[in-house]
Amino acid sequence: MIQSLRFRAAVVSIAIFLAFIGVWHLATRQTASVGTMSPEYAKLMGLTATSGKSAMPGPLDVGAKLWEHLKRPFYDNGPNDKGLGIQLAYSIGRVGLGYLIAVIVAIPLGFLIGMSPLMNKALDPFIQVLKPISPLAWMPLALYTIKDSSLSAIFVIFICSVWPMLLNTAFGVAAVRKEWINVARTLEVGTFRRAFTVILPAAAPTILTGMRISIGIAWLVIVAAEMLVGGTGIGYFVWNEWNNLSITNVIIAILLIGIVGMLLDQILARFTRMVTFPE
Amino acid sequence: MTTKFISIEGIAKRYPAAAGGSTTIFEDLWLSMPSGEFGCIIGHSGCGKTTVLNILAGLDEPSEGTVIVDGQAISGTSLDRAVIFQSHALLPWLTVMGNIAYAVSSKWRKWDKTKVRAHAQTYIDKVGLTGSEHKRPSELSGGMKQRVGIARALSITPKIMLMDEPFSALDALTRGTLQDEVRRVTLETGQTTFMITHDVDEAMYLADKIFLMTNGPGAVLAEIVENPLPRDRSRIDLHKHPHYYALRNHIIDFLVTRSKTFTATTPHHDPRHVPVVRPAFPEAPTMPSLHSATR
Burial class (CB in 10 A: 0-12, 13-18, 19+), A215: buried
Min distance A4 CA to chain B CA atoms (Å): 28
B107 domain residue, yes or no = no
Distance CA A158, CA A94 (A): 10
- Domains detected in chain A: 84-275 (1.10.3720.10)
**Residue A125: how many CB atoms within 10 A of its CB?**
9
Whole-angstrom CA distances from B179 to A41, B99, B147, B204 are 98, 22, 11, 11
pLDDT at A156 over 60: yes
Q: What is the mean pLDDT of chain A?
A: 90
B287 domain residue, yes or no = yes
- Predicted local confidence at residue A57, as pLDDT: 87
Residue B45 is part of which domain span?
6-77+193-294
Residue type for position A197: T
B45 domain residue, yes or no = yes
Identify whether the C-beta of residue B240 lies closer than 8 Å to the C-beta of residue B217. Answer: no
Identify whether the C-beta of residue B147 lies closer than 8 Å to the C-beta of residue B174. Answer: no
- The pLDDT > 70 percentage for chain A reads 90
Q: pLDDT band for position A50 (50/70/90)?
A: low
B240 domain residue, yes or no = yes
- Predicted local confidence at residue B288, as pLDDT: 46
Q: pLDDT band for position A218 (50/70/90)?
A: very high
- Predicted local confidence at residue B172, as pLDDT: 87
- Predicted local confidence at residue B171, as pLDDT: 86
B64 domain residue, yes or no = yes
pLDDT at A48 over 90: no
**Residue B122: how many CB atoms within 10 A of its CB?**
12
Query: Which residue among A182, A185, A277 sits closest to B93, beta carbon to beta carbon?
Result: A277
Whole-angstrom CA distances from B74 to A257, B39, B138, B275 are 62, 19, 35, 26
Strands (E), A84-238: none
Interface of B with A (CB under 8 A): 57-59, 76-79, 81-83, 85, 87, 89, 91-93, 102-103, 106-107, 136-138, 156
Determine the Cα angle at B241 with ends B237 and B245, to 5°. 110
ipTM: 0.85
When divided into structural domains, chain B yields a total of 1
pLDDT by residue (tens digit) across B27-51?
A: 888 998 999 999 999 988 878 888 9
User: Mutating which of A178, A180, A181, A187 best tests the B interface, going by the most B Cβ atoms within 10 A?
Assistant: A187
Nearest one of B84, B40, B60 to B213, comparing CA atoms: B40
Distance CA A217, CA A136 (A): 12
B249 domain residue, yes or no = yes
Distance CA A27, CA A30 (A): 9
B214 domain residue, yes or no = yes
* Interchain pair B138, A188: CB under 8 A: no
* Interchain pair A187, B83: CB under 8 A: no
Whole-angstrom CA distances from A107 to A121, A128, A270 are 18, 18, 19
Higher pLDDT, A263 or A82: A263
CATH number (domain holding residue B279): 3.40.50
Kindly list the averaged pLDDT for each block of 10 residues, start to end, along chain B of length 295: 79 86 87 91 86 92 91 90 91 95 94 95 91 94 92 92 89 89 88 91 92 86 89 84 88 89 82 82 50 41
Identify whether the C-beta of residue B288 lies closer than 8 Å to the C-beta of residue B46. Answer: no
Q: What is the mean pLDDT of chain B?
A: 87
pLDDT at A111 over 50: yes
- Predicted local confidence at residue B19, as pLDDT: 79
B225 domain residue, yes or no = yes
- The pLDDT > 90 percentage for chain A reads 71
Q: Is B172 left (phi over 0), alpha (psi -120 to 50) or beta?
A: alpha
